[in-house]
Amino acid sequence: MTVLRVALDLPLHRLFDYTIDSATPADVGLRVRVPFGRGERIGVVVEVSENSDWPLAQIKPAIEILRDIAPLPAEFFALCNFASTYYQAPLGEVIMQGLPVGLKRLDPPLRRQARPTRPTLAARAPELTDEQSAALAAIDLAGGFSAHLLHGVTGSGKTEVYLRLIARALGDGKQVLLLVPEINLTPQLEGRVRARFTEASVVSLHSELAEAARERNWRAAFAGEADIVLGTRLAIFTPLPRLGLIVIDEEHDQSFKQQDGMRYSARDVGVFRAHQGNIPILLGSATPALESWANAQNKRYALLTLKERANPEATLPAVKLLDTRKMALKEGVSEALIAAIKERLARGEQSLVFLNRRGYAPVLACMACGWVSRCTRCAANMVLHLADRRLRCHHCGFEHRVPKACPTCGNQDIHPFGRGTQRLESWLQEEFPEARILRVDRDSVKNRKQWEVMLERIHGGEADILVGTQMLAKGHDFPKLTLVGALGADAALFAADWRAPERLFAQLMQVAGRAGRAELKGEVLIQTQYPDHPLYAALVAHDYPGFAATLLKEREQAGFPPYTFQAMLRAEAPEMADSIAFLKAAADLPVIAGHQNVMIYDPIPMKLSRLASLERGQLLAESPSRPALQAFLPRWREAIEGLRSPSKLRWHIEVDPLEF
């Protein structure tokens, strides 16, 4: 009788033993069907042994070892072990997250062959600039592990550097993993990759793929049949037997951080994976994350710079600040921006009005009694979506019809306050009746097909004015777009979140970069009541290095990351008192006294204190030493697991948190 140690997709820091008539160490990495409770589950064999800590008579027999794919390799388990240890996540949860849904189901769907793709003519590679050539020369694909940060202004040709590196890796017979932060960035990049490498097998991996397609693509990558894997953060765990290069585009983007389940950073896991595989990794961005920039400054990463746009006829857009303290605004839009839009319409060019707030208005309110459209499940307002006459919470998804009168006092004169993209679109249509206006946000683009249609319309010149959120802020190339107007940016200047200025600068720099990417000159108009703020001065000068240096100095003085290392214990329960009491108990555990390099702060409610009817609190653990924090966290977690708590309370630890 042999014992299988099995990892299951459960929020428990333990493996499960099952017996089987015969198995060998070669079966480690295979999936196995096992009984669990009153049902069955699919797990992965982590160890084959002759012994168990439990009496063999008490161990249930496994049902079947599944042999339809090769065993998961040792490198995959090493990567999962790192993620499990560093992010304090159950090993089974990490391992199973790396598999497509179809391989975790008891009743997998019928697998169909992929439709053959139409052969296309290979796209011609453009001439490289001197800066691009220098960046490529600095990366040695055969030299083992190296981490490079490619800081290039928008339109500088970072993607071309990626493609040239990919070509070199494919020439060496290697696989390439190319990560992007959002699904919406995959169609354009995937098109360029397929057009350049017509003989290579290119597959994509992201959450919007149909279950069968995702499994098919994963199998091709795992078997070494796919040469290029293009994916979002979930692709970072995909086993690739010939992996020779990892590229992470827009590496600063928060979308690389998983915010539920196992909370990990795909960028940071990617760096570990490159080190583990002794291969190079390239991180690219016009506005790198401050952690990455600090690593480049202290030589942990090699810094490569592209200061000029790749198109010799294109220049960086002129950024101008509009002091709205001295201007009369129409629906939040200044006369100067209106005049600039009129100029572009007359010249047949496109304009983008950027407002990172979807819906018609952020809130509906009654002036008679003070009622506002608060979500009953969250500590947030419900947003007015006038097109379908719904009030909708953008946090939990709860919605209902717009009331005809105030629910509190019956006043029929209730008004929307503030503005979102729908309201801005409606007003622009009245102001420019002859213009073709296209709104691009999560309400108008809900899936990849809709996004591809939207992009075709924009590239086809079917839109004169774009109204968009951050969906349009990065990675897109619209040759006829020459004007960007940014509204409503000031709120982030004084947000409680100390990361807000970094995010605002990146957002505005990225959206500004959509203008003037071809021979037509671009202009960016930013409306603000604080034109003297250093952040805006850096934007006008296109000075990311100077702005980053200022922020890093402030963070060092304040003791914020990357100069300290943090982990956040969060708890949620139907009552805030239960969440805070649990966190206080965790803060008073005796194990903390043995780790003097770790500071535990007082528990407080989260900024969004109520979400989906649960009250949420948090407790920050911080240390000037990453090893000290990592030594503390598993012991603290084990002690927390021993605390008594209400049955409906849930908690988790997030390492390197981005949200507070």
- Enter the tokens of residue 564: 């300290």
Q: What is the mean pLDDT of residues 72-90?
A: 97
Q: Give the pLDDT score at 517.
A: 79
Residue 284 has pLDDT above 80, yes or no: yes
Specify the pLDDT at position 117.
58
- Hey, what's the torsion of the CAs at 616, 619, 620, 621, to 10 degrees? -140
Residue-level pLDDT at 123: 77
Ranges 22-26, 302-306, 649-653: which has the least confidence:
22-26
Tokens 């001295």 correspond to 326
**Neighbouring residues of 260: CB distance < 8 A, sequence distance ≥ 6:** none
Contact 276, 79 (CB under 8 A): yes
CA–CA separation, 536 vs 340, rounded Å? 20
Nearest Cα to 252, choosing from 269, 264, 265? Answer: 265
Alpha-helix residue ranges (DSSP H) falling in 66-121: 74-86, 91-97
| pLDDT tens per residue across span 529-587 | 999 999 999 999 999 999 999 999 999 999 999 999 999 999 999 999 999 999 999 99
pLDDT over 60 at 119, yes or no: no
Q: What is the pLDDT of residue 116?
A: 54
pLDDT at residue 113 in the model: 62
Segment 174-184 mean pLDDT: 91
Query: pLDDT confidence of 111, banded at 50, 70, 90?
Result: low
Quickly state the pLDDT bin for 391 (edges 50, 70, 90).
very high
pLDDT for the residue numbered 467: 96
pLDDT of 187 higher than 80: no
Which tens digits make up the pLDDT trace of 334-368?
999 999 999 999 999 999 999 999 999 999 999 99
| Nearest in space to 317 (alpha carbons), one of 152, 518, 471 | 518
Summarised one tens digit per residue, pLDDT across range 230-270 is 999 999 999 999 999 999 999 999 999 999 889 999 999 99
pLDDT digits (tens, 9 = 90+) for 195-225: 999 999 999 999 888 889 999 999 999 999 9
For residue 473, what pLDDT band results from cuts at 50, 70 and 90? Answer: confident
The structural domains of the chain, ordered by start, are 2-103 (3.40.1440.60), 130-306 (3.40.50.300), 318-359+420-554 (3.40.50.300), 565-655 (3.30.70.600)
> What percent of the chain is modeled with pLDDT above 70?
98
Q: Which residues contact residue 475 at a Cβ distance below 8 angstroms, ignoring those fewer than 6 apart?
A: 180, 185, 188, 189, 249, 250
